[in-house]
Amino acid sequence: MSADQTFLQAVSLKRMISQAFIVISILSPFFFVKILFEISKLYSKTLKIQQEKASLEIENIHIEKNFLKAQLNPHFLFNTLNNLYGLAIKKDPATPDVIVNLSDIMSYTLYESNTEKVSLQKELEFIKNYSELEKMRYPADKKIVLQIPDENNLMGLYIAPLLTFTFIENAFKYGLSHNKEQFIYLSIKIEDNQFYFHLENDVDDHVSKKEFGGIGIANVQKRLQLLYPDKHELRIENLQHKFVVSLKINLTTHG
């Protein structure tokens, strides 16, 4: 048919358009593959950048966590050893238990917490041991209430280590001050794989918000955002004479 047509018919608009469609239909698969290839390369590059950024952020968080752990040991160890010395002088029968608690705390912070997740049972045991040792610094009439669940129904649950430590440490550091009402109230509940943490303590008027919060709380917030995105709720309130922390985490059932 092409051979029989005249020159004018061959260069007519209708014929040119039809030939163009033929050429496009022949070449379109190659262009389509090329476009897909370029999109794939761009997506892979973007994904790699995001992964590198996330890895860097997690690495920074681990560095900050290790720095926090390094800060824990000196002043806490100093206070606990002083209390332990006093018990030893009085030949108090509680001395062996204090030594065991201190040993467990040091082992946990230095070795066992060097992973992204730890068993919830271990984390609660650390919180209980730490809180009990801190209570030794205060007379029995101080309002220190700890509600920490026992080991039942905790099997298979894991949590990021030392997430709540900053809040607990600050409660003992700034709580039980010279206000009329001196108290620390700590409650931890586990329901349907949900971790509920609630902490209240009195705060003296001269303690600023910046001083009470500091880098520790900022570190916790960043770790929560990285490790539990859309799976946690954190509320921090600096009220008049009282500091309140409420944290809810949807826990995983694997390590």
| Domain containing residue 211: CATH number | 3.30.565.10
Residue 172 or residue 200, greater confidence: 200
Tokens standing for residue 128: 């209980």
pLDDT reported for residue 58: 65
Residue 236: pLDDT band (50, 70, 90) is very high
pLDDT reported for residue 107: 85
Distances (CA, A) of 38 to 26, 43, 46, 47, 146: 20, 9, 12, 14, 59
- Separation CA 140–CA 137 (nearest Å): 10
- Per the domain annotation, does 1 fall within a domain? no
Give, for 245, the enclosing helix (H) or strand (E). strand 242-250
Residue 48 or residue 160, greater confidence: 160
- Per residue in 53-80, pLDDT tens? 666 566 666 655 555 554 554 666 777 7
Total domains present in the chain: 1
- Per the domain annotation, does 11 fall within a domain? no
- The yes-or-no verdict on residue 120 having pLDDT over 90 is yes
- Per the domain annotation, does 28 fall within a domain? no
pLDDT reported for residue 110: 76
Close Cβ partners of 220 (under 8 Å, ≥ 6 residues apart): 163, 164, 166, 167, 234
pLDDT reported for residue 77: 73
- Separation CA 102–CA 99 (nearest Å): 5
Distances (CA, A) of 109 to 29, 61, 161, 249: 60, 16, 9, 21
- The yes-or-no verdict on residue 147 having pLDDT over 70 is yes
At what angle are helices 13-90 and 209-227 packed, to 10 degrees? 130
Residue 117 contacts residue 252 (beta carbons within 8 Å): yes
- Per the domain annotation, does 245 fall within a domain? yes
- The yes-or-no verdict on residue 96 having pLDDT over 70 is yes
pTM for the model stands at: 0.69
For residue 22, the Cα-to-chain-centroid distance in whole angstroms is 60
Identify the weakest region by mean pLDDT among 136-140, 165-169, 205-209.
205-209
For all residues of the chain together, what is the average pLDDT?
Answer: 78
- Per the domain annotation, does 51 fall within a domain? no
pLDDT reported for residue 13: 67
In which domain, by residue range, is 150 found?
Answer: 61-250
- Per the domain annotation, does 21 fall within a domain? no
- Per the domain annotation, does 93 fall within a domain? yes
Identify the weakest region by mean pLDDT among 5-19, 34-48, 56-70.
56-70
